[in-house]
């Protein structure tokens, strides 16, 4: 498998964690987003959305991190990323989706670039935007996890799964933009447990060959 990735991309970080948790070896192909390598004709022939991650698995070219993580879970069922009961699966997916659909799109590079470029927003206002949406989103995730009846070291029980795969990159992204995460005690406890695992450590931005 070949993963098109950028070390700071939270979408690619999700897939790196998933590949590592499944123990799947992969080749990493860096795509430098600040240098606009996502806009080359070659890359856009794989993903017209000009976004990483892209995963090549033989003839299959997969895009969208949630679809990729699902594909990996369906192709390599062990260890599973979702619990068995339908309601529990829906709960875990809802945490991943709260991050993938509500938080991440608003802090993505092209959105921030559009604010400071065509809309002429100042750096300060851009950061206010970023902090507002990331904190609001994480606060809701914190509340849901802290109220969860399923206790354990991870988002759902004692094994890392889909929700953790989405949570950890979002926390790293928030930290990079100096969001004060100290109030999110449940999220930080889960992050600490995840970061004890080699699968998460090896997927971290700082561990990537393209890290700057
Ligand atoms: N929903 C997509 C989001 C992918 C995405 O936004 N990727 C970002 C990096 S995390 C990207 O490639 N940004 C390039 C840009 O904004 O120009 C997914 O989950 O794969």
33 CB near ligand 1 (under 6 Å): yes
CA of 149 to the centre of ligand 1 (A): 33
3-state secondary structure of 29: strand
CA of 204 to the centre of ligand 1 (A): 17
Between CA 189 and CA 176 the distance in angstroms is 19
Where does 25-138 show beta strands of DSSP type E?
27-30, 54-57, 60-63
Protein residue with least CA distance to atom 19, ligand 1: 65
Report pLDDT digits (tens) over 194-209.
Answer: 999 999 999 999 999 9
Report pLDDT digits (tens) over 120-136.
Answer: 999 999 999 999 999 99
9 CB near ligand 1 (under 6 Å): yes
Do the Cβ atoms of 116 and 126 come closer than 8 Å?
yes
Q: How confident is the model at residue 151 (pLDDT cuts 50, 70, 90)?
A: confident
Between CA 104 and CA 97 the distance in angstroms is 10
Protein residue with least CA distance to atom 2, ligand 1: 64
65 CB near ligand 1 (under 6 Å): yes
* Average pLDDT over the chain, rounded to an integer: 97
Question: Mutation test of ligand 1: which of 35, 100, 109 has the most ligand atoms closer than 8 Å to its C-beta?
Answer: 109
Per-residue pLDDT at 109: 93
């Amino acid at each position: 498998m070949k993963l098109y990735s950028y070390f700071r991309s939270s979408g690619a970080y999700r897939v790196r964690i998933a590949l590592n948790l499944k123990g799947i070896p992969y080749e990493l192909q860096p795509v430098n987003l600040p240098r606009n390598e996502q806009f080359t004709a070659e890359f856009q022939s794989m993903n017209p959305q000009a976004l990483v991650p892209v995963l090549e698995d033989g003839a299959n070219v997969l895009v969208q991190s949630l679809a990729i993580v699902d594909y990996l879970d369906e192709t390599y069922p062990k260890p599973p990323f979702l619990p068995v009961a339908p309601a529990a699966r829906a709960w875990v997916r809802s945490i991943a989706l709260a991050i993938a659909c509500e938080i991440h799109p608003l802090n993505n590079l092209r959105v921030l670039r559009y604010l400071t470029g065509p809309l002429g927003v100042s750096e300060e206002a851009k950061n206010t935007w970023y902090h507002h949406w990331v904190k609001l989103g994480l606060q809701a995730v914190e509340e849901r996890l802290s109220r969860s009846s399923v206790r354990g070291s991870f988002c759902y029980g004692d094994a890392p799964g889909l929700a953790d795969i989405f949570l950890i990159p979002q926390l790293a992204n928030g930290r990079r933009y100096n969001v004060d995460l100290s109030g999110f005690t449940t999220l930080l406890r889960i992050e600490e447990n995840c970061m004890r695992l080699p699968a998460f450590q090896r997927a971290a931005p700082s561990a990537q060959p393209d890290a700057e």
